[in-house]
Amino acid sequence: MSPEEKRAGVSLAAIFALRMLGLFLILPVFAIYAQDLPGGNDMAMVGFALGAYGFTQACLQIAYGAASDRFGRKPVIVFGLILFVLGSFVAAMADDIFGIIIGRVLQGSGAISAAVTALAADLTREQHRTKVMAMIGSSIGLVFALSMVGAPLLYASIGMSGIFALTGILALIAIFVVLKVVPAAPTIPRQPGWASFAEVLNHPQLLRMNFGVFALHLMQTAMWVLLPSALVTTGGLPVAEHWKIYLPAVLISFVIMVPAIIAAEKRGRMKWVFNSAIGLLVAVQIGFGFLGHGVLTLSFWLMLFFVAFNVLEATQPSLISRIAPPHAKGAALGVYNTTQSLGLFLGGVLGGSLAKYSGQEAVWLACAALGVVWLLFGLTMKMPPPRVQQ
C-alpha cells in the first residue's frame, strides 16, 4: 500500500470508529441503566431505544450514498457528522427513555457509512481494497471491545449523559479528521444517484450481500438486549466486571480472524471462509440459547461470536466494492448500509419484544433461523474472481 492509501485507511477507520462509539458505548450498560428511567422498565422500549439509531440510518443511507455519488464524499460525511453531534447532545440532556429515543433517532440521521466506505474504495487500488476495508471492519470490532471495557467505567464516573456528550465531542473530532487528514477524493465520472440505485437493486449478488449484513446486525443488536443481564443474573458477574469477559473474547477473536482473512484473500478460499463464519454464527445463537449460561460458557460463545462477526464485518464491504459497478459504488454501499441499519433497528425491536412476550429462548431461536437462511444464500453466492496481485 502507498503512504496515501495507508493514510486513507487509518483516517477513515478512525472516523468510522468514532461514530460507531455512539452505538456501542451504551450497549453494555443501557439495559440495566434503563430500569431507573421513566418508561425504562419495559423491555420492548429498551430494545427500541437500542435500535432507534438504526431506524433513521435505514431511512437515509441510500440517500446519503446517492448524494455522495452526485455531490462528493466529504461534504456528505461532514453533514452527517454534524447531525450525529446534535443527536448526541439531545440524548445527553434527556431525562427519560423517550428523550433518549429522540436523541438516538437524530444520531442515526447522520447516516455516513455508505459515503465513508465509498470514499475508501475511491482512495485505494483494487488489490489493496480488502486491506483498507479490513481496517474499517476491524476498527468496529476494536471499538466494540473498548466500549465493552470502558462503558461501565465511564458510566460510573460521568453517567449516561456524560457518555452521550462524549460521543458528540468525538464526532466533532471526526469532522476535523475528514477535513484535514483524509486525502482528497479523486474525480470519478458517476451516473446520477437514483439511476445507480435502480441498477444495484436489480443485482442478484448484491442482494445476497445486503441480506447478509441485515442478518448479521440484527443478531448483534438482539444479542445485546439479553447478554448484559445474563452475565449479571446467570453468570453472577457485576456490570463493572463485564470487561473481564469482553476484552479477552475480542482479543482472541482477532488472533483467529487474521489467518482466516489471509486464507480468504491469498489462497482463494473466500467463499469457504465466508460461509464457515455464517455457520459459526448460527452455532453461537444455539449455544447462547440452549447450551448453558455460566460465565465460562457465555465467554466461550461470545468469543466465537466475535470471530464470526469480525470475519464477516471485514470481508463484506470489500466484496460489495468489488461486485458493484464502478460508477455505482456509492449507491451500492448506500443500499448495503441501509440494510445493515435496518438490521440494527429490528434487532433491538424484535429482540426486546420477543424477550418480553415469548421468552429469551425465542430470541436465540429466531436469530439462528435467520442465520440458516443467510447460509443458504451464501452457498449460492458467486464470489468475484481473485484479484491479480501487483
Using DSSP, state whether 189 is helix, strand or coil. Answer: coil
Q: What is the pLDDT of residue 386?
A: 60
Using DSSP, state whether 240 is helix, strand or coil. Answer: helix
Q: How many CB atoms lie within 10 A of CB 320?
A: 26
Please give the residue that has the higher pLDDT: either 331 or 217: 217
Q: What is the pLDDT of residues 288-331, one digit of tens each?
A: 888 867 788 888 898 899 888 888 887 887 787 778 776 676 67
As a whole number of angstroms, the distance between CA 248 and CA 295 comes to: 13
Q: What is the pLDDT of residue 43?
A: 73
CATH code at 3-182+191-379: 1.20.1250.20
Nearest by Cα to 352 from 101, 161, 87: 101
Nearest by Cα to 115 from 370, 330, 313, 343: 330
Distances (CA, A) of 50 to 34, 93, 335: 11, 17, 22
C-alpha cell at 106: 437524530
Q: How many CA atoms lie within 13 A of 348 on its CB side?
A: 25
Nearest by Cα to 314 from 342, 277, 348: 277
Counting Cβ atoms within 10 Å, is residue 6 exposed (0-12), middle (13-18) or buried (19+)? middle
Segment 359-380 shows an average pLDDT of: 91
- Going by the DSSP 8-state scheme, the letter that residue 390 receives in this structure is -
pLDDT at 8 over 50: yes
Q: How confident is the model at residue 390 (pLDDT cuts 50, 70, 90)?
A: very low
Inter-residue contact 5 to 128 (CB < 8 Å): yes
Q: How many CB atoms lie within 10 A of CB 126?
A: 15
Please give the residue that has the higher pLDDT: either 30 or 380: 380
Using DSSP, state whether 291 is helix, strand or coil. Answer: coil
Q: Which of 116-125, 146-155, 158-167, 240-249 has the highest mean pLDDT?
A: 158-167
pLDDT at 193 over 60: no
Q: Output the average pLDDT for the chain.
A: 80
As a whole number of angstroms, the distance between CA 385 and CA 269 comes to: 11
As a whole number of angstroms, the distance between CA 228 and CA 148 comes to: 10
C-alpha cell at 299: 465467554
Taking phi over 0 as left and psi of -120 to 50 as alpha, with beta for the rest, 273 belongs to alpha
As a whole number of angstroms, the distance between CA 61 and CA 208 comes to: 18
- Going by the DSSP 8-state scheme, the letter that residue 328 receives in this structure is G
Nearest by Cα to 70 from 189, 199, 200: 189
Q: How many CB atoms lie within 10 A of CB 202?
A: 8
Inter-residue contact 97 to 46 (CB < 8 Å): yes
- Going by the DSSP 8-state scheme, the letter that residue 124 receives in this structure is S
Inter-residue contact 33 to 342 (CB < 8 Å): no
Please give the residue that has the higher pLDDT: either 25 or 373: 373
Q: How confident is the model at residue 283 (pLDDT cuts 50, 70, 90)?
A: very high
Alpha helical stretches, state H, the chain: 3-24, 30-33, 43-71, 73-93, 97-108, 113-122, 126-180, 193-201, 204-233, 243-266, 270-290, 295-323, 329-357, 360-379
- Going by the DSSP 8-state scheme, the letter that residue 241 receives in this structure is G
